[in-house]
Amino acid sequence: MGHYLPIVALAVLAVLFAGLSFLASRLLAPRRPTPQKSAPYESGIIPGKEPPRRFPVRFSLVAMIFIVFDIEVVFLYPWAMVHAELGLFGIVAIAIFSASVFESFLYLLSKGVLEWGPIQRVQRPHLVGAHRTAESTIRRVGLEGRDRPAEQRILVESGIASHAVEPAASAAGGH
Amino acid sequence: MGDPLYAGGIGLTVVLVTLLKVLVTFVLLLVATMFMVWFERKIVADMQHRIGPNRAGPWGLLQTLADGTKLFFKEDLLPDRADRIVFRLAPVLAVVPAFLAFAIVPIGGNFAEGGTVSMFGRETFLQLADPPVGVLFFLAMSGIGVYGVMLAGWSSGSKYPLLGGVRATAQIVSYEAALGLSLASVILVNGTLSTHQIVAEQAGAGFGGIIPNWNLVVTGVVPAIIFLIAGTAELNRPPFDLVEAEQELVGGFNTEYSSIRFALFFLAEFMNTVTMSALVVTLFLGGPSGPVWGPEPVRTWFFPIFWFLLKLVVFLFVFVWFRGTLPRLRYDQLMDLGWKALIPLALGWFLLLGAVRVARNEGWNLVVTFGAITVVVVVAVTLLNLSLRAAQRQRLADAEVNA
Amino acid sequence: MEFVVFLIAGAIVVGGAIGVLAFANPVHAALSLVATLFGVAVLFVAQNAQFLAAVQVIVYAGAIVVLFLFVIMLLGVDRSDDLRVEPIVGQRPLALLAGVGVLAASLVAVLSAGGSTATRTVRSTAVAIPTEEPDVTSLGRLLFTDHVLALEITAILLTVAVVGAVVLARRPGRDEPSVEADVEAEA
C-alpha cells in the first residue's frame, strides 16, 4: 500500500494544478462570448449541417478486436514471469494459446477487417503510355474555340484530340 | 522488494520525504516539459534553417513560459453544442494520467550498490513510486489518457474534433497492443514488473565488459524498436500525428479548445513525450545505470542522474528528429503498420525469445530447437501472406459486385 | 488504513454504479462506469492483488469502456429511448425480480457468515498470500499448471469472440465504404 502513497499525492497535486489553472484563467481571462465565437469551428464557413452522429462500424470493430488482443497480452505477462520454472510444459501451453491468438488474427486479416486503404483497382492501360504527356491535359479542353487550323493539326497529330471532335469544332470556327 | 522508505511503517519523516519527492517530481516534470517544447522548437527550427524562439530569456529558453502565461489571459470559449461537463473534464483526464505515468520512472540512484540514496537519514529510491506492477501502471495510465482525447473530440459537438478524436482513439488503442507485446519481452528477460528491478537487472557489467547489459541488447533490439515506434504512435507524434493533421482536420480533437484548457492538452502531450523517452531509457537502456566515480554524493547522486538525463535527451532528440524528417503516414498505412507488422512481429519475437531462453535453461539440442523455430516461423509467415492475399482477392471481388 | 481505503473505494464504486443508472446521457453513464471500475481496482490493491488491479484498469477501463463509448458514438448519443415502450415483453418485471433476488442472496450470504468471523477469514487469507513474491508470479504458476485447460479454453473463447464480432459487424457481399465516406455523407 505504501507504494501508492506518493502516487495518490501526485494525483492530488495534478488535480489541484488543473483546478488552480482553471481558476486563474477564470480570474484573468476576458469573457465576451459572441454567437460567432461559440459556433463550431469550420474554418470560417458557417456550419450548415449537424455534426455527424454516426461512425463507420470499422472503428468500433478495432476497439472490439483490441479487447481480445489486450486480454491475450495480459495472459502473456504471467507466463513471462514463470517461464523458467515451467520449462517445456509452459512452452507448449503458451504455444497452443498463441496459436489460437494467431488463428483469430489470420481470420481477421483474411476477412479484410484490417484493410483501411482504398481498393487497389486494376490500372486502366489506356491511361498509361507514351502519348500521355504533360500536354494531355489539353484533352479536357477539346478543340472547341480553337480556330487556327495549325493548332488543330498539332493537337490531332499528337493524339491529344480526336478527329471525332474536329469537324464540329472547326465548323463552329473560321469557315 | 519495493522502496525501503516504506519498509518500517509510515511515520512523519516518511510522509515528509514522500511529500518532498512528490513536489520535486512535479516541478521537475513541468520544467522538463517546458524544456521539451523549447528543445523541439529549436531543433526543428535548426533542421529547417530557421532561428526558432530567441527572444524570451537566453536562447529563447523562457519562450514556453511566456506562451503558457499568455494562455492564462486568453478567453476561454465554450462552444454552443458542447457537452458542458465532459468538455471541462476532458483536459483534466488528459493531464492527470500524464503526471502520474512518470511516477514509476527511476531517475537516479547507483544501481551497482542497490540503487538507493539517503535522504534525511532514510534510504529511498530516487523514483517517486515503485509499485510491484510498475510497467503495467504505465500502461494503465496511458489507457486512461485515451479518454482525454476521445472525450475532448466528442464533447466539442463539432465535426473536425469528433473525427480527430475517433481517429486518435483507434490509433492509440491499436498501438497499445504492440506496446504491451514489446513490453512482454522485457518482462520475460528481467522476470519482474517493477521498473526499479528492471533497471537493476540491466546494471551488470554485461557481455565482455564492453557491451552494456542493457535490455536493448538482451532482448535483441527488435522489441526496443517496436516500443519506440509504437510509443511514437501512442503519443500521436509525427509521423503518426493524423489526429491533428492540420490539412484535413483543422487541429484535431482539440480544435474547439482555447485558453488554459488547450494549454493543459498541450502540456499533457509534451509531458507524455518526456515520459515515453524516460520509459524507453528505463526499459531498454539501463535507466540511470552507468559508470560512476568519485566520493559519496557524487557517486550516488550526480552520475546516475547525469546518465539518465543524457539518455533522456538523446531520445527526446530522436522524437524531434522523427518530426523533422518523416512525412505523415496515411491512415491505412498507419493501421497496416500497427496491425500487420508490429503486432505479429512483437508476438513472434516474444515467443522466440521465450523458446530460446527455455531451451538454454533446459539444455536442449540447439540444432533441433532452431530447426523447430525455423519451421514455425516459415509456416506463420506463409499463413500471414496467404491471408493477406485472400483479403485482397475478396475486396476486388466485392468491388466488382458493387460496380 | 485499510478500512479507510475500503470506505473511499467503496464510495467510488457505489457512486459510479448509481451514476450509471441515473445519468440520462449514455456517455456520462459510461464515464461513471469507469469510476466504478477504478474503485474496484483500488479495492484489489488494498487486498495486495496488484496485477489484478492493473489488469482491471488496462482491460476494463482502457479497452472495454472505450468500446462502449465507440458503440455509443456509432449509434448516436442523441437517440434517446422511449421509456414507455418495452422492447422485450415481460423484461421489466423479470429484471425487478432478478434484482431483488440477487440482493436477497447477497444479504443472506453476508448475514449468515456473520460480521466478526467474516473479517477474520478475510484477514487470514490475506496473510496466507506470500508477500515477498509478486502476485503475478503465483498467478502465472497456477494459471499454467493447475488451470492450464481453462487458459486454453479462454483462448478459444477469445477466438470465437473475434469471429463473432467480424460476422456481426460485416454484412457479406457488401463492400465497406471508405473510412470517412459515410461520416461525410452524414455530415
The predicted-structure confidence for B313-371, as pLDDT tens digits, reads as follows 999 999 999 999 998 888 888 888 989 899 999 999 999 999 999 988 888 888 888 89
CB C141 within 8 A of CB C51: no
Residue B216 sits in the same domain as residue B315: yes
Q: Which whole number is the average pLDDT over B158-183?
A: 86
> What pLDDT is stored for residue A55 in this prediction?
63
Q: In the prediction, which pLDDT does C39 show? A: 94
- Segments of chain C scoring below 70 in pLDDT: 74, 76-84, 86, 114-132, 170-187
Nearest CB to C175; choose among B133, B143, B402? B402
The predicted pLDDT at position C76 comes to: 66
**B335/A109 Cβ within 8 A:** no
pLDDT at A173: 43
How many residues are recorded in chain A? 175
**Are residues B272 and B174 part of one domain?**
yes
Fold of A56-114: Methane Monooxygenase Hydroxylase; Chain G, domain 1 (1.20.58)
Cβ distance B177 to A69 less than 8 Å, yes or no, reads: yes
Three-state DSSP state, B117: strand
Share of chain B above pLDDT 70, in %: 97
Cell numbers at residue C120, please? 477474520
Answer yes or no: is B359 within a domain. no
Q: What DSSP letter does each residue of B331-351 carry, written as one string?
A: HHHHHIIIIIIIHHHHHHHHH
B155, A50 contact by CB (below 8 A): no
Q: Give the nearest partner residue to B163 out of C25, C55, C183, using CB atoms.
A: C183
Would the pLDDT of B37 be above 60?
A: yes
pLDDT reading at B286 higher than 90: no
- Average pLDDT value for chain B: 87
Q: Report which of B206, B393, B172 is spatially closest to residue B291, judged by C-alpha positions.
A: B206
Distance CA B388, CA A106 (A): 8
Residue B356 lies in a domain: no
Is the model's pLDDT at B129 over the cut of 60? yes
Number of residues that make up chain B: 403
CB A82 within 8 A of CB B189: no
Test mutation, A17, A31, A41, chain B, max B CBs within 10 A: A41
Is B344 in the same domain as B381?
no
Q: Are B34 and B161 within one domain?
A: yes
Mean pLDDT, residues B289-315 taken together? 87
Contact A79 C144 (CB under 8 A): yes
Same domain, B39 and B63: yes
pLDDT in tens, chain A (175 residues): 677 888 999 999 999 999 999 999 888 888 888 887 787 777 777 766 665 556 667 777 888 888 888 888 999 999 999 988 888 899 999 999 999 989 988 998 888 777 777 665 555 555 555 555 555 555 555 556 666 677 667 766 666 665 544 444 444 444 4
In a domain, B300, yes or no: yes
Tell me the residue range of the domain where B395 lies. Answer: 365-403
The count of domains in chain B is 2
Domain ranges in chain C are: 1-78, 92-126, 132-177
The residues, ordered by sequence, that sit 6+ positions from B383 with a Cβ below 8 Å of its Cβ are A102, A106
When CB atoms are compared, the residue of B136, B143, B166 closest to C73 is: B166
Whether B206 and B74 share a structural domain: yes
Q: How high is the pLDDT of residue A132?
A: 58
From the CB of residue B153, how many other CB atoms can be counted at a distance below 10 Å?
Answer: 28
User: Distance between CA atoms of B36 and B319, rounded to whole angstroms?
Assistant: 10
CATH of C1-78, one of 1.10.3470.10, 1.20.120.1200, 3.40.50.300, 2.70.98.60: 1.20.120.1200
Q: Is B384 found in the same domain as B323?
A: no
Scanning chain A, the segments in alpha helix (DSSP H) are 5-28, 35-38, 57-110, 149-157, 166-172
Q: C47 to chain A: nearest residue by CA?
A: A1
Does residue B125 sit in helix, strand or coil? strand
Quick one: B257 and B380 in the same domain? no
Report the sign of the C-alpha dihedral through residues B22, B23, B26, B31, in that order: negative
Can you give the pTM of this predicted structure? Answer: 0.85
Q: Is B401 on the interface with C (CB under 8 A)?
A: yes
CA atoms A39, A45, A48, A51: torsion sign: negative
B360 within a domain of the structure (yes/no): no
Which residues of chain B does C29 touch, with a Cβ-Cβ cutoff of 8 Å?
Answer: none
Residue-level pLDDT at B184 = 93
Least CB–CB distance from B162: residue in A10, A38, A51: A51
What pLDDT, in 10s, does the model give residues B51-63?
989 888 888 899 9
Asked if residue B358 belongs to a domain, the reply is no
Supply the pLDDT for residue A124. Answer: 55
- Find, in chain A, the residue whose alpha carbon is nearest to that of C58: A70
Structural Rg of chain C based on CA atoms: 22
The answer to whether C177 faces chain A, any CB pair under 8 Å, is yes
The band of B26, judged by pLDDT with boundaries at 50, 70 and 90, is very high
| Residue ranges covered by each domain of chain A | 56-114, 134-169
Chains near B, with 3+ CB pairs < 8 A? A, C
Task: Please judge whether C28 and B86 are an interchain contact, meaning their C-beta atoms are less than 8 angstroms apart.
Answer: yes
Q: Which amino acid is located at B270 in the chain?
A: F
How would residue B173 be classed by pLDDT, with cut points 50, 70 and 90? confident
> Does the CB of B89 have a partner CB in chain C at under 8 Å?
yes
